[in-house]
């Protein structure tokens, strides 16, 4: 099985002014003359991590990573004004132009897959290849599946769900996203943080195939927990700023682009049905179902993703 490439550091970092309010953290890694690729992180609100650089051969790829609006090292932290799917699509295109890149590979997992599809369908002429993982199409059923009482994920992880539910009074259980949003948008920082940590414990500990219900999750850093919870609640309550079934409806715009779809069979956060629907609408894509959960760090998912990036480097490098 393929493994992640060795750890690397950026050869250049940037502060990129997206507009008068938002300044993005952007980094370039690998080979400055290599095949350009942009990495789109999940969440929304999670930011990039050092291991995200390692899905690409650093000798063959010019790797561009950035923290989306309000996430990671971008500022203002956890800011939701002028923060929508289409602001982020514009940011990706602005970064491409700033670096003088004509066309690039687009790599995104989970929320990053949503954003990658939205970007590619808006700017198909700028995308030479796509690598997508843990597909999330932003449809109403997907939005309810993981965060609402009638969604279904609670049946898989009942112990962890009980903690998520306990944070909200019973009379507000009919719409948990809105209930959490009220607390995440509170003027009291203690109320915001408590809600963010409860939200993050539910999501962050539900990513792996081998599940420990007592594991604290991977959003235990308060700063990350706040940016993730606020951004996710903001995007989810606005149906991720997409029209119904938009990303499936517009697949025809990108069917000519070489693409790999990698999906964990037992992904509870972004269930298999979304990847299956996308693959059915896009028969030209290479659809790989692996024995894994949601996490991009799962060995089976790493193997498939690195194979996909290597194949694109062989093709275009």
Tokens of 85: 């799917």
Alpha-carbon distance values, 314 to 56, 207, 311 (Å): 12, 31, 5
- What does the alpha-carbon distance between residue 120 and residue 103 come to, in Å, rounded to a whole number? 11
Tokens of 232: 């996710």
Residue 125: CA count within 13 A, CB half-sphere: 1
- What does the alpha-carbon distance between residue 136 and residue 72 come to, in Å, rounded to a whole number? 21
Instruction: Using alpha carbons, select from 306, 208, 232, 218 the residue that is nearest to residue 262.
Output: 306
Triad 134, 106, 8: Cα angle to 5°: 90
- What does the alpha-carbon distance between residue 281 and residue 71 come to, in Å, rounded to a whole number? 32
- 274 labelled catalytic: no
* 3-state SS, residue 28: strand
Catalytic residue among 57, 91, 267, 310: 267
- 212 labelled catalytic: no
Instruction: Using alpha carbons, select from 317, 257, 267, 313 the residue that is nearest to residue 288.
Output: 267
- What does the alpha-carbon distance between residue 294 and residue 208 come to, in Å, rounded to a whole number? 6
- What does the alpha-carbon distance between residue 159 and residue 213 come to, in Å, rounded to a whole number? 6
- 110 labelled catalytic: yes
Residue tagged 């896009």 (tokens): 282
Cβ contacts of 100 within 8 Å, gap of 6 or more: none
Catalytic residue among 227, 294, 295, 298: 294
Catalytic residue among 22, 25, 74, 110: 110
* 3-state SS, residue 261: strand
Q: Catalytic positions, please?
A: 110, 267, 294
């Amino acid at each position: 099985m393929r493994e992640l490439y060795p750890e690397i550091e950026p050869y250049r970092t940037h502060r990129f002014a997206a507009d008068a309010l938002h300044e993005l953290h952007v980094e370039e890694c690998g080979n400055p003359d290599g095949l350009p690729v942009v990495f789109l992180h999940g969440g929304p609100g999670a930011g990039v991590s050092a291991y995200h650089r390692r899905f690409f051969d650093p000798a063959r790829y010019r790797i561009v990573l950035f923290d989306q609006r309000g996430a990671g090292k971008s500022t203002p932290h956890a800011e939701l004004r002028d923060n929508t799917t289409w602001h982020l699509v514009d940011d990706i295109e602005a970064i491409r132009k700033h670096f003088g890149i004509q066309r690039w590979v687009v790599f995104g997992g989970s929320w990053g897959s949503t954003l990658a599809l939205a970007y590619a369908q808006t700017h198909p002429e700028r995308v030479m290849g796509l690598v997508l993982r843990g597909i999330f199409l932003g449809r109403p059923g997907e939005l309810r599946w993981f965060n609402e009482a009638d969604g279904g994920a609670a049946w898989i992880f009942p112990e962890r769900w009980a903690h998520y539910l306990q944070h909200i009074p019973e009379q507000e259980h009919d719409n948990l996203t809105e209930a959490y949003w009220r607390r995440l948008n509170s003027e009291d920082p203690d109320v915001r943080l408590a809600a963010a940590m409860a939200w993050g414990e539910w999501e962050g500990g539900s990513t792996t195939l081998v599940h420990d219900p007592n594991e604290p999750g991977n959003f235990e850093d308060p700063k990350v927990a706040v940016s993730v919870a606020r951004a996710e609640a903001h995007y989810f309550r606005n149906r991720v700023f997409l029209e119904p079934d938009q990303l499936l409806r517009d697949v025809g715009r990108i069917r000519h682009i070489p693409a790999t779809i990698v999906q964990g069979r037992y992904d509870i956060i972004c269930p298999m049905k979304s990847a299956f629907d996308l693959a059915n609408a896009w028969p030209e894509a290479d659809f790989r179902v692996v024995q894994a959960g949601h996490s991009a760090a799962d060995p089976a998912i790493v193997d498939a993703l690195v194979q996909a990036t290597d194949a694109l480097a062989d093709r275009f490098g």
